[in-house]
């Protein structure tokens, strides 16, 4: 199920604002149900939150738990946005100008994989030995070179693919279809903000 960005992004911003300006646990709790699909991550996060609460209360520093809640909220909101926001609907807000950014966002997994592969290959080729010999500049250049060549190659290829596929020439037709589910999500964000501002919450 994807939610229209026109309402999803403001809702997410309201939840983020609630987390930033209040110590309430409501923003963090409000994001958890949406991550049911990411069971392993959710379990790990809940474990970290519990450990943090325990440790801070033992050290008599429970007032700092608000920072744990805040971090968890922001991380959850990012994952939520990745899973639930309908990316093409972002163009309803930005128009064609937003298209390169929308497209660029798809390349997170590719560059994550490229950089972790390059570092793995660097380790098995002994490039990291240059560090032990004190050759810091040589190490940086060696590690960065294949990553940079790949970034340039991807940029050139994507530019060509974009030119092949996006050729309508005119203004992108903005599709602003808001459904009941979108409105519900928008209202949800507002509710979270309101509840967070109520002191006893």
Partner 1 sequence: MDEKVRLWIFAAIFSVASYVVSAGISLGTAAYAASIFLDPLLNLTIPLLILSVGFQAINKRGGAFAIGLISAVLFALTFLFFLTATAFVAGILTEVSAYLLGYRGMKASVINTAVYGLGEGALSVYIGALFLHYAVPILPFVGFSLVFVALGAFVGYLGQSISSYMIKSGLMK
Partner 2 sequence: MVVINPSFLKGEISVSPEEIVGLLGRSGSGKTSIIKEILGFGGICQMREGRMGIGLPPPRDLISGVLQDPNSQVLGDSCEDEIELLSMDHRVDAAMAERLMGKFFRKNFFQLSDGYKKRYALATVMASKPRYLFLDEPLANLDARGVAQILSIIPKGSLVAEHRVREIRDVVDRVYVISGKSVAEADVDRLYDESFLRANGLRGFSVQFERGSLGKLLLDADVGFKLEVREGEVVGLYGNNGSGKTTAIKKLSRKVYPVFQNPDLQFFKRTVYEEVLDENALRAFGLADKAEASPFALSFGEKMRVLMAAAFSSGKKVLAFDEPTTGMDGDAFLSFLNAVKSMKEQGRGIVIATHDEDLIALCDEVINLESRERLRY
Q: Which residues sit at the interface with partner 1, rule CB under 8 A? A: 16, 20, 74, 77-78, 81, 97, 100-101, 103-105, 107-108, 111-120, 122-123, 128, 131-132, 137, 139-141, 143-145, 147-149, 151-156, 158-159, 162-163
Among 81, 114, 181, 190, indicate the residue that binds partner 2 (CB under 8 A).
114
What separation in angstroms does the CA of 162 have from each of 37, 71, 98, 156, 170? 32, 36, 13, 10, 15
Name which of residues 23 to 82 contact partner 2 (CB under 8 A). Answer: none
Q: What does DSSP assign to residue 25?
A: S
Among 140, 162, 194, 201, indicate the residue that binds partner 2 (CB under 8 A).
162
Interatomic CA distance for residues 66 and 62, integer angstroms: 8
- The angle at the Cα of 47, spanning 45 to 53, to the nearest 5 degrees, equals 105
Cβ of residue 124: shortest distance to partner 1, in angstroms?
10
Q: What is the DSSP string of 19-58?
A: HHH---SHHHHHHGGGGTT-HHHHHHHHHHHHHHHHHHHH
The count of C-alpha atoms lying within 13 angstroms of the C-alpha of 143, restricted to the half-sphere facing its C-beta, is 19
166 binds partner 2 (CB under 8 A): yes
Q: Which residues here bind partner 2, judged by CB under 8 A?
A: 87-88, 91, 96, 99, 102-103, 106-107, 109-110, 114, 117-118, 120-122, 124-125, 127, 142-143, 145-146, 149-150, 153-154, 157-158, 160-168, 172-175
């Amino acid at each position: 199920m994807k939610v229209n960005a026109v309402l999803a992004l403001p809702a997410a911003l309201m939840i983020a604002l609630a987390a930033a300006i209040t110590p309430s646990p409501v923003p963090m709790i409000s994001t958890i149900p949406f991550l049911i699909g990411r069971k392993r991550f959710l379990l790990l996060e809940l474990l970290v939150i519990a450990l943090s609460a325990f440790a801070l209360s033992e050290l008599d520093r429970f007032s700092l738990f608000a920072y744990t809640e805040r971090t968890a909220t922001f991380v959850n909101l990012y994952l939520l946005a990745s899973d639930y926001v309908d990316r093409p609907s972002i163009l309803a807000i930005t128009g064609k100008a937003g298209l390169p950014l929308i497209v660029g966002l798809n390349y997170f997994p590719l560059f994550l994989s490229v950089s972790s592969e390059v570092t793995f290959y660097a380790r098995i080729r002994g490039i990291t030995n240059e560090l032990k010999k004190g050759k810091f500049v040589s190490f940086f250049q060696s590690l960065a070179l294949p990553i940079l060549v790949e970034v340039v190659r991807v940029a050139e290829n994507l530019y060509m693919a974009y030119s092949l596929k996006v050729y309508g020439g005119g203004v992108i037709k903005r599709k602003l279809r808001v459904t009941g589910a979108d409105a519900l999500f928008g209202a949800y964000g507002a509710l979270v903000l309101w509840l967070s501002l109520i002191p006893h919450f």
